[in-house]
Structure 1
Amino acid sequence: MIDVYSWPTPNGHKVHIMLEECGLRLGRDWQVHPIDIAKGDQFDPAFLKISPNNKIPALVDPQGPDGKPISLFESGAILLYLAGKTGKFLPRSDRDRFKMLEWLMFQMGGVGPMLGQAHHFRIYAPEKIEYAINRYTNEARRLYGVMDRQLQNQPFIAGRQYTVADIAIFPWLRSWQNQGIDWADYPRLKDWFDRIAARPAVQRGVAVLADARNPLTDDKARQTLFGAVQYQKR
């Protein structure tokens, strides 16, 4: 049984979706351990042993590559591990595999961080800073445009196949309204989004822990996620 330490955020949902898409079923092949990031569970010493950057998700597989337990943090690394373990959603040819990795890195280095900043300054920041809101909203729109153009002549982000790159990007686009996005400006990307959202494994993945997350409204939770608690020496 694979242990997944997670929370219903885009990075958490990436791994939930990947597990389900790989044919691994919640409750049969893997189990989830909620890490409530608003309450500070991510700073628990036991969690820090497997995720030293105090971020979700993290994974512990008792049957690692050499038959011994392995723990992993960073969602991109976990996706690649699961793809290698199951032989799914990782293109076989070197050329196609590098193309997929190119777009996975695009998500890890661009889509996730930039859309995360858009969420922060548009919704969570204690003061509305016009410069920051405009900067990250415009960057979100630029990234959506990049993806929309990429889908001009192919059905999936990295080519003709559904891959880890699609699984990594999709959860971040579920909060498109919070990012200041109008889907009418990105018709090809909207078609891709709807096709991914309709996949049964994706629907199962985004349902994991969905009822556990509450709106971020109190100052204590804000301090835990964005303030002094986050930056304490450990």
Structure 2
Amino acid sequence: MVSTSYPPKPIRVWITPPGPNPWKTIFLLEELGLNYEFKSFRFDDVKKKPFIDVNPNGRVPAIQDPNTGLTLWESGAINQYLVEQYDKEKRLTYDTFIEKNHCNQYLYFQMSGQGPYYGQCGWFQHLHPEKIQSAIDRYATEIKRVLGVLETILSAKPADAQWLVGNKMTYADMAFVPWNFRLGEVLLQSWDEVFEGTPHVRAWHEKMVDLPSWKRAMEHRAKLMDEQGLQWNGVPKGIETFTEYEEKIQKGGIKYDD
């Protein structure tokens, strides 16, 4: 999927379309207007060749940049590389000492706090073979805690600069979008319930999902999901509800290897 002619050769992005993490990178690529292409494949093959030769950890995304000869995995490392290598105007980052380190700080918070807790909640909510309510409650509580941390940070910012770092959106803000975008299905709550008590987080999130770059990313996702016979929430076509999906998983009709 080529966005522009820069860099000269398209960056190859390996993804399985259902999960949130690949879309951290696609969102950034789209916002920067970089030249890239998808290598989309089924989640069932994430720990098989040829992908395991690209990323021995068997996780997406991974990139291969023919312009520099670099193969890289881990979404945080990928996004840091992209802004350092290609965001020459510092649109989505900073080169000042404090702000640069704060961008790193919030990216690592997203990777160590938001992503794992949200992912575990989704696993125990929908995919674990047996319902363990205490595990669901633990991770749902952690999600609310993470949202609360973000609310504390954003609510302390000036009204015209409610971003994590400085007075503009950076790649650190953008990293939170794909997981927050999926919170309704993770928590089984309405949008109002998801963001109850965190109005600044909601406004921050909604500013970003209204960007043309995010909308383009989601258009790509919808197309790739359709090609694999999947609905928007990752459930195969023909299965109407998560309950039906969970029953099939428990009966062994669907294999899901995290």
TM band (smaller chain): 0.7 to 0.9
What residue is the counterpart of 2:150 in the other structure?
A: 147
From 50, 58, 66, the equivalent of 1:54 is: 58
Q: CA RMSD in A?
A: 1.7
Residue aligned with 1:43, SS? coil
What residue is the counterpart of 2:38 in the other structure?
A: 32
Shift of 1:207: 2.4
Task: Output aligned runs, 1:89-104, within 5 Å.
Answer: 89-104=92-107
Contact 1:123–1:178 under 8 Å retained in 2: no
Shift of 1:212: 3.4
Which range moves more in the overlay, 176-185 or 164-173?
Answer: 176-185
Q: Distance in 1 between matches of 2:14 and 2:131?
A: 33
Contact 1:140–1:179 under 8 Å retained in 2: no
Q: Distance in 2 between matches of 1:21 and 1:198?
A: 12
Q: Distance in 1 between matches of 2:222 and 2:73?
A: 21
Amino acid at match of 2:74: E
| Higher relative contact order structure (alpha carbons within 8 Å, sequence separation ≥ 6) | 1
Amino acid at match of 2:171: V
User: If the length of structure 1 is used for normalisation, what is the TM-score?
Assistant: 0.86
From 187, 196, 205, the equivalent of 1:193 is: 205
Residue aligned with 1:72, SS? strand
Task: Output aligned runs, 1:208-219, within 5 Å.
Answer: 208-213=220-225, 214=230, 215=235, 217=245, 218-219=248-249
What residue is the counterpart of 1:15 in the other structure?
A: 25
Residue aligned with 1:112, SS? helix
| Closer, same or farther: CA 221–23 of 1 in aligned 2, 3 Å | farther
Amino acid at match of 1:209: R
Shift of 1:86: 1.3
What residue is the counterpart of 1:74 in the other structure?
A: 74
1:125 aligns with 2:157: no
Shift of 1:222: 5.0
What residue is the counterpart of 2:257 in the other structure?
A: 225
User: If the length of structure 2 is used for normalisation, what is the TM-score?
Assistant: 0.79
Residue aligned with 2:64, SS? strand
From 115, 127, 136, the equivalent of 1:112 is: 115
Contact 1:111–1:172 under 8 Å retained in 2: yes
Deviations 1:168-190 (A, max 9, x none): 11111011213435323210000
What residue is the counterpart of 1:84 in the other structure?
A: 84
Q: Distance in 1 between matches of 2:256 and 2:185?
A: 21
What residue is the counterpart of 2:194 in the other structure?
A: 182
**Could you tell me the percent identity over the aligned residues?**
29
Contact 1:7–1:209 under 8 Å retained in 2: no
**Number of aligned pairs?**
216
Shift of 1:6: 0.7
What residue is the counterpart of 1:232 in the other structure?
A: none
Deviations 1:87-106 (A, max 9, x none): 24121101100011000000
Shift of 1:137: 0.5
